[in-house]
Amino acid sequence: MADVNTLKDQGNKAFAAKDYDKAIVLFSKAIQLDPSNHVLYSNRSAAHAGKKDWQTALEDAEACIKANPSWSKGYARKGAALHGAHKWDEAIAAYQEGLKLEDSAALRKGLKEVEEAKAMDSSDPENVHPLGKLFSDPNMISKIAANPRTSKYLSDAAFMATLQSIQKDPKLIQGALQDPRMIEVMGLLMGIDVQSFSRPEGAGNDGPSEPFSPPPPNPSASAGPSTSSETPSAKVEDVEMQEAEPAEDDPEALEDKKLQATAEEQKKIGSDAYRKRDFETAVAAFQKAWDTWPKDVTFLTNLSAVQFEQGKYDECIATCEKAIEEGRLLRADYKVIAKAYGRIGSAYQRKGDLDAAIRFFNKSLTEHRTPDILNKLRDTEKEKAAKEAEAYIDPTLSEKAREEGNALFKKGDFAGAVKSYTESIKRDPKDPRSYNNRALCYTKLTALPEALKDAEQAIKVDPRFVKAYIRKSNVLFSMKEYTKAIDAIQEAAEHDEDGSHTMEIQQQLMKCNQAFSAQRSNESEEETLQRAMRDPEVAKIMTDPVMQTILQQAQSDPKALQDHMKNPGVRDKIMKLVSAGIIRTR
């Protein structure tokens, strides 16, 4: 996933530089590596919107929603794309759908803007863009041809086609104001000389043209439209806002720098106090930093960290929510937003609201994936599952489900019995009887690995439960693991202290020995060795250097084996090899 994040970061930088084509290529590569990552579709949608390719932006927004229908920002992307395409009603519906998921200031702003845009898009001539009316002049082309500065534009077929389109639909002027030639044509049609606006102060007639145009709108956090009469500007949630450096002699800029420096001093005081666990001082310092310079949401996230350490979880959550809301408006780094969501999740976890914790950990991961939050999410999900399982325990209902399983077993409905025994286990996982009964059902269904697992779990729950050892031996017998079946029935005999299962154990032991003898009689020494070595315990004994030495001595001096048998540990291993058929007795 590191490659995906790298590509995403590179795409965000290209987007911030307005190199939309490069951003689209980078986001597309990231999508190829992680096609289920909804944030990547969201970012690519924003890049297409930056190019005013509204249809492709809409397709990516739809892909984002499909990948994560619960993420409200996907609907903001959809609304922005539809707004750009002038599909007002569909855009409004998209924003409203997003607001059902999250009451976001960005979504509300986008909805308001598209509603205003729809109100302006009327057949009433009064609602036509004021500048658009200029192009209704029937003598427009002849005026352009007669002016020395604009006559050269007649040779540009694309520009003339744009002018003719605006004549037919004056509202199209909204998307054409960035073209400096359009400003000159507008001045010509208004009867004024726009040359003074077309060149910087002091520039000669041969200087570079820098047309006057309205300042660009401030994009909304939802990538929605900036004003009611303009198409939406794109924004990627993963891109920090880049602000131009103010002039050194600008009094407002100097005052801003002074305030920012004061806020940073307070941040340092807060950080030092936090490390010393002087939380009251830290809270006051971080709050003052934010009040002084409310353009850096890290002051708020730092404040929330102190509140978390104080155990003031509700205050911590409120501060993080404010950080997220302000961060969206300020276009803060997506990592900061992710950290705020993660801290909300941690606060809810401490409060015991695990559902809310999981929800906010997931929100954090949609902004930025980090191992820390991923581990917290998994731990919280495990904790939730454990608590739900604990709350589900009811020995009385467990007994009832087990009896239902017994009745179904007698009817031959083994699959139904498995279901009832499973319910019984969930209701009381410390009762070995349901595991043992389910093991028998699995044996009837020839699901032998599952049967063995249940028999072993019954033994783990209650090591003195003799029936579980007998069941295990029967399952191993069915698997033709006769030596293991013999070991299991011998364990049953060891735990049968009151002798209530003596006859059943003896019958099982006899059956296992007979089957094992028959198996050995039909095997070659090589087949016996291959079968025995499939047993991990036998394999371990055979690879033990000490046992290899003992076996080599026994081949040349059989009496030496009797001496080694006096060692209990060696004796047990030799008996295991005898049972496996590797050492044959006469």
Dihedral angle of Cα 52, 56, 58, 64, to the nearest 10 degrees: -120
Q: Domain 534-586 maps to which CATH number in 3.40.50.2300, 1.10.260.100, 2.130.10.10, 2.30.30.90?
A: 1.10.260.100
The per-residue pLDDT for 539 is 83
Homologous superfamily of domain range 393-444: Tetratricopeptide repeat domain (1.25.40.10)
Encoded tokens for 7: 């590509």
Rg (CA), the chain: 39
Please determine, for residue 217, whether its predicted confidence score (pLDDT) is greater than 50: no
d(CA 225, CA 216): 12
The per-residue pLDDT for 585 is 58
Q: Which of 97-111, 247-261, 407-421 has the lowest mean pLDDT?
A: 247-261
Encoded tokens for 178: 């960035």
Encoded tokens for 70: 């619960």
Its pTM stands at 0.44
Choose from 81-90, 322-331, 457-466 the range with maximum mean pLDDT. 457-466
d(CA 237, CA 2): 19
Residue of 221, 237, 232, 227 whose CA lies nearest to 81? 232
How far is C-alpha 309 from the geometric centre of its chain's CA atoms? 26
Segment 486-507 mean pLDDT: 92
The per-residue pLDDT for 228 is 35
Segment 462-468 mean pLDDT: 95
The per-residue pLDDT for 17 is 84
Encoded tokens for 5: 């994040």
Contacts of residue 253, Cβ cutoff 8 Å, sequence gap at least 6: 246, 247
Encoded tokens for 568: 């209990």
Q: What is the residue whose two structure tokens read 């750009």?
A: 84
Percentage of the chain surpassing pLDDT 90? Answer: 49
d(CA 215, CA 198): 15
**pLDDT grade for 83, boundaries at 50, 70 and 90:** very high
Give the number of other CB atoms < 10 A from CB of residue 237. 26
The angle at the Cα of 526, spanning 521 to 530, to the nearest 5 degrees, equals 100
Segment 356-371 mean pLDDT: 93
Please determine, for residue 120, whether its predicted confidence score (pLDDT) is greater than 90: no
Convert the pLDDT of each residue in 126-143 to its tens digit.
Answer: 455 555 566 666 677 777
Percentage of the chain surpassing pLDDT 70? Answer: 82
Q: Which residue has the higher pLDDT, 82 or 581?
A: 82
- C-alpha neighbours within 13 Å on the C-beta side of residue 231: 22
Please determine, for residue 249, whether its predicted confidence score (pLDDT) is greater than 50: no
Dihedral angle of Cα 196, 201, 205, 210, to the nearest 10 degrees: -70
**pLDDT grade for 244, boundaries at 50, 70 and 90:** very low
The per-residue pLDDT for 205 is 36
Segment 90-119 mean pLDDT: 86
Please determine, for residue 496, whether its predicted confidence score (pLDDT) is greater than 50: yes
d(CA 551, CA 145): 110
Q: What is the DSSP string of 333-386?
A: -HHHHHHHHHHHHHHHHHHT-HHHHHHHHHHHHHH---HHHHHHHHHHHHHHHH
The per-residue pLDDT for 547 is 84
Q: Domain 262-391 maps to which CATH number in 1.25.40.10, 3.40.50.300, 3.30.930.10, 1.10.3720.10?
A: 1.25.40.10
- Phi, psi angles (nearest 5°) of residue 249: -95, 10
Quick check: helix, strand or coil at residue 276?
A: coil
Q: Which residue has the higher pLDDT, 346 or 13?
A: 346
Length in residues, the chain: 586
Please determine, for residue 378, whether its predicted confidence score (pLDDT) is greater than 90: yes
Segment 509-517 mean pLDDT: 86
Q: Which residue has the higher pLDDT, 180 or 450?
A: 450
How far is C-alpha 317 from the geometric centre of its chain's CA atoms? 21
Please determine, for residue 458, whether its predicted confidence score (pLDDT) is greater than 80: yes
d(CA 553, CA 561): 8
All structural domains of the chain with their residue ranges: 2-122, 130-198, 262-391, 393-444, 534-586
- Report the mean per-residue pLDDT for the chain: 82
Quick check: helix, strand or coil at residue 7?
A: helix
Please determine, for residue 279, whether its predicted confidence score (pLDDT) is greater than 80: yes
Contacts of residue 464, Cβ cutoff 8 Å, sequence gap at least 6: 495
The per-residue pLDDT for 18 is 85
The per-residue pLDDT for 136 is 67
Crossing angle for the helix pair 105-120 and 88-101, nearest 10 degrees? Answer: 160
d(CA 517, CA 500): 28
The per-residue pLDDT for 174 is 65
Q: What is the DSSP string of 285-341?
A: HHHHHHHH-TT-THHHHHHHHHHHHTT-HHHHHHHHHHHHHHHHHHT--HHHHHHHH
Asked if domains 262-391 and 534-586 share a fold, the reply is no
Dihedral angle of Cα 62, 67, 68, 73, to the nearest 10 degrees: -40
**pLDDT grade for 270, boundaries at 50, 70 and 90:** very high
- Please check whether residue 223 is in contact with residue 235, taking contact to mean a CB–CB distance below 8 angstroms: yes
Does 2-122 carry CATH code 1.25.40.10? yes
Q: Which residue has the higher pLDDT, 209 or 388?
A: 388
d(CA 479, CA 403): 28
The per-residue pLDDT for 304 is 95
**pLDDT grade for 232, boundaries at 50, 70 and 90:** very low
Dihedral sign of CA atoms 252, 258, 264, 269 in order: negative
How far is C-alpha 411 from the geometric centre of its chain's CA atoms? 47
Please determine, for residue 86, whether its predicted confidence score (pLDDT) is greater than 60: yes
